Structure 1
Amino acid sequence: MFSIALGILTYTPRLISLGLQGSLGSMSSHGTLYNHEPATALDVTTWTAGVSTHTAERHKKNLFLQSLYEEQDRSATVDKSGPQREYQDKDIVENLEKGVKFWTDFSKVHYHPQSLYELSGLWMDAWEFDNYGIGRDALSNGLQGEEISERLRFFVEECDRVQGFQFMVDDSGGFSAVASELMENIADEYTNTPVLLYALRAPESYVNLGKRKQTILRSLHDAVSFSRLSSYCNLIVPVGLPSLSTSRASSFFCINDEKLYHCSAVYAAALHSVSLPFRMGSLAPTADLHYVSGGVDVSEVVQILLGQSRRNKVAILDMAMPAPSLTGKEAGERLLGHLHPVTPEIAEDVEDLQAVETMTVHGVLGPGGHEASASEVKDTIHAAYEHATMRPKFCHLSMAHSPLPIPLPFPSIFKNVVGQRGELLENPTAGPPLKGSLDVHSIPMAVRLRSSSAILPYLENRLGYLRRYGVDRGAPGAELVRSWGFGKDELEDFGEDLSKMVIELKPHREVSSDSD
């Protein structure tokens, strides 16, 4: 959507972002479009004793944010003369690498005043907001929940057509409960609008503290969180590996798992590419295994992945970053071979005759270094699947020419084999050991969402956690879950729903027939 600020047409994301109070760093919860004066303290006339005031210093803008505001000021000023900034882009890159504390430290877009929301009244640190029970109490008074719903209605009313809702939820702690309550309201108010949910996790959420009590809490949280979230969405995509740095997905970049600045850049790149077809125009379909188009909406992606012969609402996300060039006889096999999962707890090399998938490829290079055409991409992938031992029952392909841009705040994570256009260099030139936005300007990407029985370990783990710690006779976590507001009947319902998901994907499950 767009807004008018200072007489300038400014585009803003149609977004509602929820976080704990103080999680926005130097950015105001009212965004950056309009000058908003902070509320001043009121004089207390009914209190006669002494009053002490404790004021926290405002977070200072880092060099990157300072450069954005300086650039904006220069563009809004007729007189271009004046002192130039004393730092360079390399100083900004170094400052980001060492000093990122909030996601707003590397955000370069404007936000609408209705977009950023801080949950108030939670007097705890972020690390304490770590389980479903705590999150369930966050909106218990109902006032904040209604205010968030009003903001959602504001954005919905600005739409010509609502193709669906995309949720990105850190489901490792209390925000899982906050999201499930909001999603329940959406399910009631927007009955026929699909909901696509990405359940995101940082590597730090997998750290094993070694204490049995903590293990029980986290296991039950995982089971309850997934059960609740999956019941209010049409499709759920778990994203986030215990160690992204040692995974096959990181073949061409090097990151520090402890830096959310690094991990979030990789996962954000994947989610940007996955959602790219929602923002594209359509092309004509082709009548073969691979349905090729430009754009699809959320509803179409959900329908593709839910399939016809079975109902699996949990999808796996694979990514190739960067995607290899389409050169040589085995270009398709090489492209498919570069797709690696960023969904945790999945089985490898599973042959599933009912698997379906939707793939997005954009900015990939063809022979000679030119941008590959839609037909080249389609023919290459089609040929690869024709000769593959494991192939999906159905594959939808979306293709775009534009690669993923690598803007200034992107971290320096690419290995020296990655070239300026994201091409993989056979003979890397001497240079920095890791490259960022100053050396790599764009990246060809390939991502894939697939519905496959490879997700079974993820589902079976959550079913096992629920039974072992919450439902079985003498379960050690029964009292804990009861304190979260769930009775035994509800837990058994969760278990039954999870069991149905598992049975649906079992390769040798019993299938009833009308003749029985």
Structure 2
Amino acid sequence: MSNVCREVVTLQLGHYSNFVGTHWWNLQDASLSYDPETPPSEIQSDVLFREGQTPGGHVTHTPRLIAMDLKGSLRTLRQEGNLYDAGTDTSAATWEGSLMMHKESPPQKNSFLEDLDRMDSATLPAGAVSVDTVNSQLARVQKGYRLEGSVKVWSDFLRIHLHPRSVSVIHQYNHDGEAHRLETFGQGEGLLQGPLLEQLEDKLHFFVEECDYLQGFQVFCDLADGFAGLGSKVTEMLQDSYGGRGILTWGLAPVSHPDTTPMKELYHVLNCALGTVNMAANSSFFCPLTLRGGLGRRPSSPVAFPHLNYDPSLWYHSSSVLALALDALTLPYRLKDGAPMWQMADTLAVSGRKVVAAYGAVPFPMMHGAALPDALSACADALPWKPLSACPEPGDGRCYGQLVTLRGFEGQRLTSSLAPGTQPATPLHDLHRGEDVLESYVRSFYPRSPLALQLVSTPSALTPPFPQIFSHFLGPRGFLQSQPLPPGSRAVSLAPVMTSLQSGPAVGSWLSQLHSGAGALDIRRSAPSFLSQGPEMSDYKDALEELRLLGRCYRDGTMCSS
């Protein structure tokens, strides 16, 4: 079964999830190679991509993706995409009277999208799209796009073509403006019915039925707005319809929201609480992902990384950091000989504890030319990763299950090359396998906890329009240099990353804080409109009680009910 492709269908629910997803798909696309002379990759791209053919006969590779967002969120992106454009159908036009046409100017494209259009039109015959258009040219273009001022929506930096069935627009709610906003959990829950439900089922059937060995679904879902309610219903539907498959759900929250108010901040807390308990119940595991210092109304400072200079308030920046972490977090079930989703979930969701926390060293600090024992010995006093789930590590070495992934050490040594008779600098330098080096290091912090490891030499490939947020001490391959690089040096094009997924008492503390933040509110007095479209007050109280019990089973070691 090692050569069998276990396909995954991805769902992106909400605007910030589509920001993260766009960066994540750009990373996947940048790592694709269409050169038959290139050595086979450790990563199996067909897990995520499907092969198709345009009417012009050109082979395409598009994501096996369903992306849902609100009216007005696409800007320059056509909902049906550009791959299978059959032109304008005028067969139904029967009116023969006079017509008055009002033409609205389309949104202006930024410099990156304009360059993409030029590449496509210069390379392709009319009506066809070549799979290697972006990779073959952008990989050669060392152009530093500065899109911070021009990115309004996620399609402003989307570098790949999507299948016509991928994008779904929810017309009942607006992306911009004050009216008709998707702000509460109940609004989102009420969406999955009628035409939207039929549309989602149709898209799922299309992508699922062409899979030979479907291993499951990965769901990226906004956690702080009404999409938390929609995500709860979508994961419930997936569990009912595809119960034997893996459902790995990532609840995403930005550091800040534009035009927020105290009432909206209160809504965010309630949505996070209800979304967490419901999506966790319907998923193989649920992992919140955010660079906020907490999901309450008074979070601490955003997460800082030693070798990144990112602006936490820019969704374009914060989503790129989370996408780079996700590129490592999702790696185990995308490898040719990797563990399937269900096995990854069983490793982490021990005794029904299905909420897990993520941590990441983005990028992993490794000196150019150094060995892995050197890099880890430099972090002997503290683990190199930072919280990616607003869940600080307690530092007491307790953990029910942990999966550590290190990727991107290509060209570096995993062990020390000691001359005979040389005294090793540390115990790590005396080990002879990279897996043993990493395990010994992690066990120095978690000596008795179950541990699974994944080492992959291939780094994340960074090509335009990934933002230039890296320290001047990082070279083009993402390794540390002893001196800062001079201005105008080649941009970082590869990134080593280390991540950890954990289920432990720290998650219980996080869940308890989430419960306390929501439970302390007199919702009838503080936010009377929150429940106007559901759930019922009794269901709301039941959900908070489930959240409280879920947090408790992480603390006292009892088994959680599924």
When the two structures are superposed, what TM-score results if normalisation uses the length of structure 2? 0.75
Work out the CA distance in 2 between the residues paired with 1:353 and 1:258.
Answer: 33
Give the equivalent residue in structure 2 for 1:321.
362
Q: Percent identity between the aligned chains? A: 24
Of 43, 60, 80, the match for 1:30: 80
Give the equivalent residue in structure 2 for 1:131.
184
Structure 2 CA distance for partners of 1:511 and 1:260, relative to 1, 3 Å: closer
Secondary structure, counterpart of 1:199 in structure 2:
strand
Work out the CA distance in 2 between the residues paired with 1:123 and 1:363.
Answer: 41
Contact 1:21 1:118 in 2 (8 A): yes
Give the equivalent residue in structure 1 for 2:150.
99
Give the equivalent residue in structure 2 for 1:75.
123
1:277 aligns with 2:332: yes
Secondary structure, counterpart of 2:69 in structure 1:
strand
Work out the CA distance in 2 between the residues paired with 1:216 and 1:378.
Answer: 45
Work out the CA distance in 1 between the residues paired with 2:416 and 2:462.
Answer: 17
Of 536, 540, 543, the match for 1:487: 536
Report how far residue 414 of structure 1 moved: 0.5
Contact 2:255 2:302 in 1 (8 A): no
Structure 2 CA distance for partners of 1:391 and 1:333, relative to 1, 3 Å: farther
Secondary structure, counterpart of 2:84 in structure 1:
coil
Structure 2 CA distance for partners of 1:339 and 1:109, relative to 1, 3 Å: same
Amino acid aligned to 2:539: E
Structure 2 CA distance for partners of 1:114 and 1:126, relative to 1, 3 Å: farther
Work out the CA distance in 2 between the residues paired with 1:55 and 1:180.
Answer: 40
Report how far residue 14 of structure 1 moved: 0.5
Higher relative contact order (CA 8 A, sep 6+): 2
Of 171, 177, 197, the match for 1:120: 171
Give the equivalent residue in structure 2 for 1:288.
none
Give the equivalent residue in structure 2 for 1:342.
388
Report how far residue 217 of structure 1 moved: 3.0
Alignment of 1:233-382 (within 5 A): 233-242=283-292, 247=302, 249-282=304-337, 295-307=338-350, 310-325=351-366, 327=371, 331-334=375-378, 337-344=383-390, 346-364=391-409, 376-382=433-439
Work out the CA distance in 1 between the residues paired with 2:153 and 2:167.
Answer: 14
Give the equivalent residue in structure 2 for 1:179.
231
1:8 aligns with 2:58: yes
Amino acid aligned to 1:305: L
CA deviations 1:160-202 (Å, max 9, x no partner) are: 1111110001111111122222222212111222211000011
Structure 2 CA distance for partners of 1:367 and 1:132, relative to 1, 3 Å: closer
1:384 aligns with 2:429: no
Report how far residue 62 of structure 1 moved: 2.5
Amino acid aligned to 2:465: P
Secondary structure, counterpart of 2:168 in structure 1:
strand
Report how far residue 370 of structure 1 moved: 11
Report how far residue 16 of structure 1 moved: 0.3
Work out the CA distance in 1 between the residues paired with 2:293 and 2:399.
Answer: 30
Give the equivalent residue in structure 1 for 2:107.
59
Contact 1:122 1:138 in 2 (8 A): no
Secondary structure, counterpart of 1:187 in structure 2:
helix
Work out the CA distance in 1 between the residues paired with 2:251 and 2:90.
Answer: 38
Structure 2 CA distance for partners of 1:19 and 1:499, relative to 1, 3 Å: same
Contact 1:13 1:111 in 2 (8 A): yes
Query: What is the aligned residue count?
Result: 472
314-323 vs 413-422, which deviates more? Answer: 314-323
Alignment of 1:457-468 (within 5 A): 457-468=509-520
Work out the CA distance in 2 between the residues paired with 1:431 and 1:259.
Answer: 24
Report how far residue 329 of structure 1 moved: 5.1
Root mean square deviation of aligned Cα: 3.5
Structure 2 CA distance for partners of 1:371 and 1:208, relative to 1, 3 Å: farther
When the two structures are superposed, what TM-score results if normalisation uses the length of structure 1? 0.81
Secondary structure, counterpart of 2:161 in structure 1:
coil
Work out the CA distance in 2 between the residues paired with 1:133 and 1:271.
Answer: 29
